[in-house]
Amino acid sequence: MSDAKVTSKGQITIPKAVRDQLGLRTGDRLEFVEDNGGFRIEKRLGENPFDKWQGFLKHLAGQSSDELVDEMRGR
């Protein structure tokens, strides 16, 4: 069991053993989840930066890469 002291600014230092176990690094975000009258701290997983591009080239489906390159080169 690890504990942490709350500062006057409401900040805590997460013990190294807990940071290591959660795989926390500088800049990671934590989420406080209410659970059975208490709270559970979870590492918030970031959004995949590639998700916004999914389906972006859907209009090119079915064309060969050679056709696409020729089109880009104006042939």
CA gyration radius, the chain: 23
Instruction: Kindly tell me if the per-residue pLDDT of 11 is higher than 80.
Output: yes
Q: For the segment 16-69, what is each residue's pLDDT rounded down to a tens digit? A: 998 999 889 998 889 999 999 999 988 888 777 888 888 888 888 888 999 889
The pLDDT, as a whole number, for residue 45 is: 80
The pLDDT, as a whole number, for residue 50 is: 85
The pLDDT, as a whole number, for residue 16 is: 94
**DSSP assignment of 22-70:** HT--TT-EEEEEEETTEEEEEEEPPPPTTGGGTTTTGGGTT--HHHHHH
Domain limits, the chain = 16-72
Whether the CA torsion 20, 23, 27, 30 is positive or negative: it is negative
The pLDDT, as a whole number, for residue 57 is: 87
